[in-house]
Amino acid sequence: MTSGPSFGIGRIRWPWLVAAALVMLLLPAVTGTNTPALLLIWSLFALSLGLMWGFAGILSFGHAAYFGLGAYTYAIAAMMVGESTGPLLLAIVLPAAVAAVIGAMMFYGRVSDVYLGVITLVVTLILFKFMSATAGDAYHIGGVRLGGFNGIPAFPILNLPGDPSVTAFGTPFYYVVCVALLLCYLLCRWILGSLFGRVLIGIRENEARVELLGYSVPLYKTAIFTISASMAGLAGCLFANWAEIVTPGVFSLGQSAEVIIWTIVGGLGTLVGPIVGAIVLGFLKLLLGQQTVIDNSLVLGAILVLVVLLLPSGLLPALGRWRARRERASVSRRQATSTRRRRGARETA
């Protein structure tokens, strides 16, 4: 599946990155930290899908599976261990390991795009149904009850490594989320600027040609599927710390659908696009959640239809093309003005 042109592959625009970091640094003084932290967690989740879908052409309809695995893994491990360092790492590693197994079966099995979408969707449905049915004392891991629809509450939140008494709550937690998002963004830029990233883009554009050049397409697809899942698991872990409870809703189809919509609206083939889409639509979702007149899903669906019809490449690529057209028009006007002045000077002479 082709996602269109890729803007600024592997290139970091440091002035924009520094400006974004400053905005995130100063934002708590204006708006507080609760809502911005949630929006940045969603941005990390969207970035994980945007990397895989936008640059490798792999669309997962069940990306929430790894988001939810990260959340549940952290909650269970944190209650068993009593601190957050190991559980945080496990919340990244376990979703990545599950994705590596599923990805290897799909890609080495040469599963087509349609069946790939079905398989990823079914994985999420299975996890949602299973976790929803785990009420009762019989369902526990190491003494931690899974809780069914009620989920797992009251687990230890992020703390200073080695010192569970110093927790990251409020503003410190917000800055942890900011650092996680920036580091993952830089990792994605590094990946896209490497040979690995260029091969991924080649797979997106023409898989058969890349294979004829001697690259193992299933290996590269499995690798990016695993990396994307690890980032989604990190986002799930951070979400668990933000909500301070984990329920089967993290595996819901709505969660998977939303991250796809955020990525499409923000712009495929970019890294910033999914982040922008998650922030804009996530904020709109929170605003709509404060009223009962209009259903959130109807509004998000209408926005998706309008963007697909009017801006098929997404907001960020459309803005980039608009800016490029303005710059070309400005250059043309300056050249025309310069030409008229030279002609006037010659006629006067």
- Residue-by-residue DSSP string for 206-228: -HHHHHHTT--HHHHHHHHHHHH
The reply to whether 289 and 318 lie within a common domain is: no
Residue 2 lies in a domain: no
Residue 290 pLDDT greater than 70, yes or no:
no
269 and 349 part of one domain: no
Helix (H, G, I), strand (E, B) or coil at 143: coil
pLDDT at 337: 79
In a domain, 112, yes or no: yes
Q: What is the DSSP letter of 141?
A: E
Average pLDDT over residues 132-149: 89
Residue-range definition of the domain harbouring residue 92: 14-312
Mean pLDDT confidence for 286-295? 73
Spatial separation of the C-alpha atoms in residues 43 and 38, rounded to whole Å: 9
Residues 305 and 319 reside in one and the same domain: no
Q: In terms of domains, do 92 and 21 share one? A: yes
Rounded Cα distance, 68 and 271, in Å: 22
pLDDT band at 10 (very low <50, low <70, confident <90, very high): low
Q: Which of 103, 104, 113, 17 is nearest to 57 (CA)?
A: 113
Distance (Å, whole) CA 1 – CA 265: 17
44-to-113, 267, 293 alpha-carbon distances in Å: 24, 15, 30
- Strand 140-141 to strand 144-145: parallel, antiparallel, or no bridges (unpaired)? antiparallel
Out of 26-30, 68-72, 145-149, 270-274, least confident range: 26-30
Place of tokens 């996530």: 282
Full-model pTM:
0.89
DSSP 149: G
Q: What does each C-alpha distance from 266 to 279, 303, 313, 318 come to in angstroms?
A: 9, 11, 9, 10
Number of domains in the chain: 2
Report pLDDT for 296. 73
In a domain, 159, yes or no: yes
More confident residue, 8 or 92: 92
- Identify whether residues 261 and 325 lie together within a single domain: no
pLDDT, tens only, 300-334: 778 888 887 887 778 888 887 777 788 788 777 88
Instruction: Give the burial class of 42: count Cβ atoms within 10 A of its Cβ; 0-12 exposed, 13-18 middle, 19 or more buried.
Output: buried
Q: Which residues have CB under 8 Å from 226's CB, separation 6+?
A: 96, 99, 100, 103
User: Would residue 260 count as lying in a domain?
Assistant: yes
- Shared domain for 284 and 248, answered yes or no, is yes
Residue 231: inside a domain, yes or no? yes
Q: Alpha-carbon torsion 309, 312, 316, 321, what sign? A: negative
If asked whether residues 298 and 208 sit together in one domain, one would say yes
> How many CA atoms does the CB half-sphere of 208 hold within 13 Å?
0
Q: Tell me whether residue 235 is in a domain.
A: yes
CA distances (Å), origin 188, targets 31, 52, 184, 203: 28, 10, 6, 17
Domain check: are 349 and 298 in the same one? no
73 and 220 belong to one structural domain: yes
Same domain for 342 and 298: no
Residue 287 pLDDT more than 90? no
> Is residue 5 in a domain?
no
- Say if residues 236 and 95 touch (Cβ distance below 8 Å): yes
Strands (E), the chain: 140-141, 144-145, 152-153, 159-160, 163-167, 245-246
* Same domain, residue pair 326 and 268: no
pLDDT tier at 21, thresholds 50, 70, 90 = confident
Q: Is residue 9 part of a domain?
A: no
307 and 336 part of one domain: no
- Evaluated on CA atoms 185, 170, 266, 126, the torsion sign reads positive
